[in-house]
Amino acid sequence: MESRLLDTITADPDDAGAWYDLGTTRLVRGDFSGARVAFELTLEADSSHANAMNSLGNMLMIEGDPKAALQWYQQAFAADPEDPKAPFNMGEVATMARELESALGLYTIALGIAPGDRKYAMKVAETHLAMGKPQLVHGVLAPVLRANPNDVGALIMDGTGLHRSGDSKAALKPLLRARELDPDNLMAQRWVGTACWATGQWSCAEVAYGDALALAPERADLWLERGQARTKLGPSFAPRAAADFEKAAELDPESPRPRFELGVLLETAGRDDEALSAYRAALGRDDAHCPSALNAGRLLIVAGQYPKAEATLDQCLRAEPDNEHARLNRGLARARAGLCEMAAEDLAPIAEAGGPGAEHAARLMADCR
């Protein structure tokens, strides 16, 4: 191939197309230096050759110089404003710099030049998700899915957008279709589980997370999520849920969440001492984990261990000074211990705010002796 191109160039050194094809051939086989020379000679033959400019930019991106790459992309777009590659490539540079608003605008330009193009539509949709605008994803991907209803990646992204927009019921249709088309797609299985969970379909969620675990048994988050689904399926599933939480804790020993969820499960079963141990284990991983501190503090209050309850709730309040639940419970612990002035420090602002805990806070202060 290269020898034929060199013959063509020898016959006509100004053949920009042959120089460009030579550069592409060299690039494919990893000869960056030779490719760069060929692309530069392409531009000597045709100074407006946008593809050569894009290729030079792409090489610089691979070499880790997006700033220099951007200059080539800008030149390419100026040379051929109807070619979507340059604005797309500029969008990639903006994405690397976390300039998402700029990236979205550039991807949208590329999609406007080539309506319905899958690559550009997927990037626009992906950027909407990253910017917290999931409600816009479905409309962007509709043309892609009309052209190919079996596009697994587009189906998953469509379902993700619908779920994050608050319509998990609608999200299940594309997600289930994606799973049907590609049962070994971890993302499809996981998102089916998430959408089933959000719609209260606990058995569906348990099965989907189980299928995801068959593909990625090393994922602590999947063990955690299946355990959560199993807690919803009734007492008979509690031992299996506990085993899932323990496995998640084993795989992610620094996370407080598996131990917190295990604590909730044990507390629900009336095993308060074991639940308290689980909450303390969670706080051992993250001493500012408020859900664990709140639940542990509440159990300590029930057990009459007011100083320990206060100290545990302090752990939450150091991280979240405005956490009303923690202040209310610390006020309760202090009131039960007879520390009325200290209790009022927590309870009076809650009572005065008139929120959901106001009546309870006022009553605790009135009853404190």
Q: Identify whether the C-beta of residue 160 lies closer than 8 Å to the C-beta of residue 191.
A: yes
Give the pLDDT confidence score for residue 297 in this predicted structure: 97
* pLDDT, average across residues 74-92: 97
Q: Identify whether the C-beta of residue 129 lies closer than 8 Å to the C-beta of residue 157.
A: yes
Count of beta carbons in the 10 Å neighbourhood of residue 276? 24
Confidence of residue 6 (pLDDT cuts 50, 70, 90): confident
Q: What gap in Å lies between CA 244 and CA 297, rounded to an integer?
A: 25
pLDDT tens-digit readout, 162-180? 999 999 999 999 999 999 9
Instruction: Look at residue 7 and tell me whether its pLDDT is greater than 80.
Output: no
Instruction: Look at residue 84 and tell me whether its pLDDT is greater than 90.
Output: yes
Give the pLDDT confidence score for residue 5 in this predicted structure: 79
* pLDDT, average across residues 128-152: 97
Give the pLDDT confidence score for residue 13 in this predicted structure: 80
Percent of the chain scoring above 90 in pLDDT = 89
Instruction: Look at residue 191 and tell me whether its pLDDT is greater than 90.
Output: yes
pLDDT tens-digit readout, 265-279? 999 999 999 999 999
Q: Identify whether the C-beta of residue 248 lies closer than 8 Å to the C-beta of residue 223.
A: yes
Q: What gap in Å lies between CA 38 and CA 58, rounded to an integer?
A: 14
* pLDDT, average across residues 5-13: 78
37: which 2 tokens?
A: 């020379």
Q: What gap in Å lies between CA 156 and CA 61, rounded to an integer?
A: 28
Q: Identify whether the C-beta of residue 263 lies closer than 8 Å to the C-beta of residue 276.
A: yes
Q: What gap in Å lies between CA 337 and CA 328, rounded to an integer?
A: 14
Give the pLDDT confidence score for residue 88 in this predicted structure: 98
The rounded mean pLDDT for the chain is 95
Q: What gap in Å lies between CA 316 and CA 330, rounded to an integer?
A: 10
pLDDT tens-digit readout, 40-72? 999 999 999 999 999 999 999 999 999 999 999
State the pTM of this model: 0.86
Instruction: Look at residue 367 and tell me whether its pLDDT is greater than 70.
Output: yes
Which is more confident, 84 or 8? 84
Query: Exposed, middle or buried: residue 199 (CB in 10 Å: 0-12, 13-18, 19+)?
Result: middle
Give the pLDDT confidence score for residue 203 in this predicted structure: 97
Q: Structural domains in the chain?
A: 125-215 (1.25.40.10)
Instruction: Look at residue 10 and tell me whether its pLDDT is greater than 90.
Output: no
Instruction: Look at residue 320 and tell me whether its pLDDT is greater than 80.
Output: yes
Q: What gap in Å lies between CA 121 and CA 44, rounded to an integer?
A: 34
Instruction: Look at residue 236 and tell me whether its pLDDT is greater than 70.
Output: yes
Give the pLDDT confidence score for residue 9 in this predicted structure: 80
pLDDT tens-digit readout, 281-292? 999 999 999 999
Percent of the chain scoring above 70 in pLDDT = 100
